[in-house]
Structure 1
């Protein structure tokens, strides 16, 4: 055998070995638990599998074609409220029924983790349909005749900076760019938004999580602002996380701001629980602990609560990857109320409300858009789910699909459900950012749901000393205290 032939054979063997090694390193960590097992009020928490190279399974968006649509749950129908939009994300419905939408994508940014992480992130973002420049627009959609299709479209602004959260009251429109909270003069019904906005506050810019959602208090006096972390587990240092992984409260008259709740890796949807009046949010948890960890979640957000990030997850479970002293006493870490599944990327959130026309099976709970995983095998999310709440305003049972998975089963997805809102007829609106569509879902012929009655009762006496998570006191109540059903 010639020397050249031997060299060629050796090169082929080396290439095969390198390919095998690459496959081994990149094969990922398939889920050992079903998605359902990582959902609900008592999710299974798998043994952590720390990863240097993350599990990756990105579903490539392919759109819906001219007449495709998601499959709705039995009794529900779905139609296109608007289409041909450039990356629609946050939906906000004005009192008169006009629907405001931010057309937006991530700003230019450096992702925490170094050059290799940024290179890989760029490839993944492009594959997932999130690599295009941000349109930076605010658009008004109007369904004037109430037929479920928006026949009017007006660009209100096209000079924003990766805008997301929206809120309106008393002639003032609040818009959260990725780096600043703005206030515009805006009378409802107007099809233009001229003039220079007032900047109310700077916000921590960009980062791994760039969306900034906002919610007005029920009395309209305060604004709540959700800001996600700059990293997965503060690998860039805690200095880079100042003001992040938190919900802030801003008093609009005085300008006084304070940290309302912390330890929330990436809070997104914000809504007021109609039974209790408490603030609730959806949160995306950390990555690179395997396909089964950590569940994203839905939870209430009491003032001063800390949910553990980056040191702890799902209560006081320690994340051994985070080095250094704890920034919060583990006894004070609050446990989330309801798990939505590992890596599903829970975003938009709305509660059932008076006049919603989703039918009897969807009239007493919360709706959540699960944007879809990039780091779970098999992929999860890519759907809209409903979580039933009991008569006391607590989540119960398992998530129930409203819109079935947008996945094709062939490594592709038609779209990615992102945000939720209600239209003026009581139908549920769902933004599909990669497909450029806003879907409208309702139960044909259903009457509007009655208003959910606010729970009233005597207040408990103040707790003088806080010892750990107050909810844990009810797991083993002290002698003399009877619990419901005991």
Structure 2
């Protein structure tokens, strides 16, 4: 057995040499004391090429745009793979996320416990999966003044809940569907219910569940109904980073996929596969297509592999674990079928690698300026496998006539302190009944409300 060689730099960076060809660099556990200079960009500036993929949190500002293409990507291992997880600190006094000019950001609800996916009920109530304590919370603002009038636990005793969906669509749903890590259950629901009025009914009981491993073991399961209400989509992330050994092939057979079921959980089909971790899924209001927000793999360097937001083709293969971003092989994966590379679909909108893109929604409200109509918002939980932080924000994925343009824009930033510490991590996004955007943040355990006035 080779003895690992350990080196600690003056900056506090720990490098563990595992052999002649590999090393894992672990960034200093405590960030540098100096304040990072915030870079200044022109309003709505567009970063492309190397400027887009190499930028970091010090570039982030509301309105800044990026457009990353496959041609911009470096070779594998162009930089070392690092462990540089967020150094979490309490929210500084008076800290508020930043949004573009004309928008106001306010704390809508505080003191939550691991708030994750959030959706809006037809009557305007906000339903929030608190995944850590295994429950769903409902918050109501009766008079629309931006302050909760009630804050109740709708149901508890769940198992790592994440995805939420009402069924059927429209003004009077009969059920709230909840995606546990290993099942989908539904509870009876009528407009205005603050508590579940009956026991949960398990409609899908064989989802591959569990796992909270660094770089893999994805446990979140999102759900959404097709626009016509006939189909229920369920997203399931991979168990491993890149199926690094043959023993994982069996484990991954029902993972890294989006499944399609009837509304009652019957007639399972694989809608798309090769999607490492489709954390968030949503239906495009213009095209009625299924879209997804995806965490890609780690370990290939700072700028590989890009996370992405894309429409999903039925029967499509998106590369994991054998390829990425088209016909680019990942040599770490074992057992690659022959002639598969040519079938890999390239996603619509490539994001900075390791941003940890989580839940997403489309803006269907009327409050924001017209140019926001039907664009997507996606929460970026923030990097751990990158030397310079990226993510920790909410982005706007820009579209035209329901199709992605390939560009995305910083919308909600400011969750990182000037010293590089992190106090907030966006997870979920939903459009309120009056057109506000609500964002869950499991770093400060807050729900943020973003509103716009002309």
| TM-score bracket for the superposition, by shorter chain length | 0.7 to 0.9
Q: Match of 1:479?
A: none
CA contact (8 A) 1:59 1:413 kept: yes
CA distance, structure 2, for counterparts of residue 328 and residue 369 of structure 1: 35
For residues 130 and 336 of structure 2, the distance between their equivalents in structure 1, rounded to whole angstroms, comes to: 41
Tell me how far 1:323 sits from its aligned partner: 2.6
**1:45-84 equivalent positions in 2, closer than 5 A:** 45-49=73-77, 54-65=81-92, 67-84=94-111
The root-mean-square deviation of aligned C-alpha atoms, in Å, is 2.4
Select between 431-440 and 198-207 the one with higher mean Cα deviation: 198-207
Larger radius of gyration: 1
Separation in structure 2 between the aligned mates of residue 331 and residue 158 of structure 1, nearest angstrom: 46
Find the counterpart in structure 2 of residue 159 from structure 1: 157
Considering fraction of residues, name the structure with more strand.
2
Deviations 1:93-144 (A, max 9, x none): 011101100111xxxxxxxxxxxxxxxxxxxxxxxxxxxxx21111000010
Could you tell me how far apart the structure 1 residues matched to 2:93 and 2:141 are? 21
Deviation at 1:405, TM superposition (A): 3.7
State the SS of the aligned residue for 1:95.
coil
Among residues 183, 204, 207, which one is paired with 2:208 in the alignment? 204
Match of 1:316 in 2: 327
For the residue of structure 2 that corresponds to 1:242, the secondary structure is helix
Q: C-alpha distance in 2, partners of 1:241/1:425?
A: 42
Give the TM-score normalised by structure 2: 0.82
The answer to whether 1:332 aligns with 2:343 is: yes
Distance in 2 (alpha carbons) for counterparts of 1:372 and 1:227: 20
Matches for 1:34-53 after TM superposition, within 5 Å: 34-36=51-53, 40=67, 42-43=69-70, 44-49=72-77
What is the SS of the residue equivalent to 2:400?
A: coil
Question: Helix, strand or coil: the match of 1:331?
Answer: helix
Residue pair 2:125, 2:141 contacting (<8 A) in 1 also: yes
Q: Does 2:359 align with 1:348?
A: yes
* Structure 1 residues 237 and 168, CA gap change in structure 2 (3 angstroms): same
Aligned residues: 397
Alignment of 1:237-256 (within 5 A): 237-253=248-264, 255-256=266-267
Partner of 1:291: 302
The unaligned stretches of length 5 or more in structure 1 are 1-15, 105-133, 446-486
1:328 Cα deviation (Å)? 6.7
Compare the two structures and name the one with the higher helix fraction: 1
Match of 2:386 among 368, 371, 376: 376
1:97 alignment partner in structure 2: 124
**Shift of residue 239 of structure 1?**
0.6
The question of whether the paired residues in 2 share the 8 Å contact of 1:90 and 1:420 is answered with yes
Alignment of 1:174-193 (within 5 A): 174-193=177-196
1:276 to 1:166, Cα distance in 2 relative to 1, 3 A: same
Q: What TM-score does the superposition give when structure 1 sets the normalisation length?
A: 0.77
- The one-character-per-residue Cα deviations of 1:272-321 (angstroms, maximum 9, x if unpaired) are 12221111111110000000101000111111001010000011110011
Is 1:389 aligned to residue 399 of structure 2? yes
Q: 1: CA distance between counterparts of 2:452 and 2:317?
A: 39
